[in-house]
Amino acid sequence: IPRSFVTTLGFQIAGLRILRLTGNSIESLDSWFTRSFPHSIELHLGSNKLTQLPEDIGKLTALVELYLPHNFLTELPWDIGHLSNLEIMDLTNNKLNELPNSVGKLHRLEEVYLKQNNLMRLPDTIPEPLGGIDPTMQTIVDAKGNHPE
């Protein structure tokens, strides 16, 4: 996404709460992206060409729902653990090899979708069983189609 477009757009809709950019062939998001939409509660970036997220993604502290399916993400930044209001995270069909332990800091997380990645194992901070519900955390974790140890 050209920075000039987002800067102009940001001034026009500074209070944007839901951002849907699905299917736009977006290849990267720089740190200016997180500064441009600080009040967003839903971010839909599925079916793009993202290989990484901005290192400061954790600045989107109002974010409740994060949808990133069908991209090319190989890793998530540690800062993702600062998304303290996040309840839903969809990472289906990416190229993730591992998840940062900081995901365990997402105490409001209710649903995590990890299907069709390259995960060999999940961090200890993610509840088991895979594809089930952990009654202590009440979190749905769906990691089918991976290769957990």
Average pLDDT (19-31) is 91
Mean pLDDT score across all residues of the chain: 84
Q: Quick check: 6 pLDDT over 70?
A: no
Report the first-to-last Cα separation within the chain, whole angstroms: 38
Unique residue bearing structure tokens 């540690």: 78
Q: What is the pLDDT of residue 8?
A: 56
Q: What is the pLDDT of residue 9?
A: 55
Q: What is the pLDDT of residue 3?
A: 55
What is the side-by-side order of every strand in the sheet holding 65-67? 18-20, 42-44, 65-67, 88-90, 111-113, 139-142, 132-134
Q: Quick check: 137 pLDDT over 50?
A: no
Which DSSP category does 12 fall into? H
Q: How far is residue 17's CA from residue 63's CA, in Å, rounded to a whole number?
A: 9
Of 79, 88, 87, nearest to 34 by C-alpha is 79
Q: How far is residue 141's CA from residue 135's CA, in Å, rounded to a whole number?
A: 12
Q: What is the pLDDT of residue 129?
A: 45
Q: What is the pTM of this model?
A: 0.83
Q: Are 1 and 33 in contact (CB under 8 A)?
A: yes
Which DSSP category does 120 fall into? S
Average pLDDT (106-124) is 89
Confidence band for 31, pLDDT divided at 50, 70 and 90: confident
Largest CA distance in the chain: 48
